[in-house]
A and B are shown apart, each in its own frame.
Chain A
Amino acid sequence: MALPESQFGFPSVLARTADAESEAACSETETEVIQLFDEYRSRLLRYVLSIGLTAAHGEEIVQDVFLALFRHLRLGRPKDNLRGWIFRVAHNLALKTRMNEQTRPDRVEFNEIVAAAQVDPQPNPEQQLASGQRQSRLMATMRALPERDQYCLHLRAEGLRYREIAEILEMSLGAVSISLSRSLARLERADRG
């Protein structure tokens, strides 16, 4: 190849070479984070969508959550109940993002964002005919529930235990149980129409 003789590389400051030992520890943590990402990404995204954020914000939040997790694990922080940790960070970020969106004057109204997020871009006509009406009635009822009840329900739907939900939303166990039971009763009534 025709490299000029005078060519030189950048100083070593720019050519960063990581210490082999810490690199090994890092790659172990990376593997762990990727495993958790594979396990929880869809659930987290669905949760964030279900509490009214757009898919674009959802992707952003999920990236942030797992990068935060990576930093958390790199610093040797506790590993117990990582699932709860992941959802708690996602929940807080989602609320923060939502608040920022609401206060930005150049943005469309939050309700419009929610409405946009709730439109299926490619509705399947057969599905719609079969169960669409009932499903939309159910979802409408759910969106009419108090916010905290919605959070509880969506977290439970994504597989979280009451104890985890209580921690994420900073509620008592009893309050979680009452909230879920009350919401399901309302949904059942709506479903019967």
Chain B
Amino acid sequence: MRDHENHLSDEDLLLVVDGELSGSRAKQVEEHLAECWDCRARKQRLEKTISDLVESRHAEFDSQVQPSAGARALLKANMAQIAAEPAVPQKASVRVFRSGRVRRTVMVALAAAAVVAFIVGGVERVRIQNSAVYAEGPLEPRPTLTPGAVRAISAAEVCAVSNEEHQQVLVIPASVKEEVFREYGMSAARPQNFEVDFLITPELGGSNDIRNLWPEPYRAPVWNARVKDQLEDRLRDMVCRGEIDLSTAQRDISADWILAYKKYFHTDRPL
């Protein structure tokens, strides 16, 4: 209550506005408000301040809240990845999700958000005709659908043939491409926005089996096809120089190509 005149305190006014008072106290305050114009005027000023504050916050921050489609798709992909791991109790949650893998996906998330901002902002005329489909597309191959598959080929054979020749041998038939889109639940996606790509590149002995194929967005912002190409070249060079086994290269690129990039280029970001 407010000193000598028994008016309501600022705190009481706010508590009643916010519905935080209990039964009998709420009743007392309501009764006082009914009889006291002074307090009612103060209550109205308080509500006005609250509504001004709400408006100011929206004006200031809403423009920075981008559409959620990309972030939602990413969250789903990350959950699917976590779901494939055994559910082991972890010590401290905050530490757990700061693992390198999630770190990476978070970078992709940022990039995804940036792409959405980029598209919405129309800074450059990017020819992405269906951004919603693009945003719902996979940012990484899914291990259950695309674990990777290889041909029976030795390191010597891999190194004896040029990259172009490897590519020429392994044509991906249109029917297989369609099947890749279907298994990723992207039948409605515009094929021109995606490349059906090899997870294990043919130059490392990868096959054109559907288990080695995934729809890679052309314009993935950070970890895109160009970056993956660098890794493929690096791995092939290392295999051909005898620095790593072909099977190691195949396993690393198929298990997690982004992690493999970081490992072989000793960096957290694409060079």
A155 to chain B, nearest CB (A): 12
Output the least CB separation between B260 and chain A (Å): 14
Give chain B's interface residue range (CB within 8 Å of chain A).
Answer: 35 or more
Across the interface, name the chain B residue whose C-beta is closest to A55.
Answer: B64
Does A55 lie within 8 Å of B94, measured CB to CB? no
Chain A's interface: helix, strand, loop or mixed, by majority? helix
Q: Are A14 and B93 in contact (CB under 8 A)?
A: no
**Residue on A nearest B64 in the bound complex, by CB:** A55
A60 at interface, CB cutoff 8 A: yes
CB <8 Å contact, B68 and A70: no
- Provide the residues of chain A in CB contact with B13, threshold 8 Å: 181
Cα-based distance from A22 to B1 in the complex (angstroms): 57
How far, in Å, is B264 (CB) from chain A's closest CB?
19
How many of chain A's residues have a CB under 8 angstroms from any CB in B? 79
B76 engages A30 (CB within 8 Å): yes
Q: Do A64 and B97 contact each other (CB < 8 Å), given the known contacts A41-B71, A59-B109, A139-B56?
A: yes
- Does B65 interact with chain A (Cβ within 8 Å)? yes
CB distance from A51 to the nearest CB of B (A): 11
Contact with A along B210-237 (1 / 0, CB 8 A): 0100000000000000000000000000
What are the nearest 8 A-B pairs in CB distance?
A135-B56, A6-B152, A15-B147, A26-B83, A55-B64, A181-B11, A1-B173, A188-B49
A→B interface (CB under 8 Å): 1-4, 6-10, 14-18, 22-23, 26, 29-30, 33-34, 37-38, 41-42, 45-46, 49-50, 55-56, 58-60, 62-64, 66-68, 70-72, 74-75, 89, 92-93, 96, 117-118, 120-122, 127, 131-132, 134-136, 138-139, 142, 153-154, 156-157, 161-162, 177-178, 180-182, 184-185, 187-188, 191
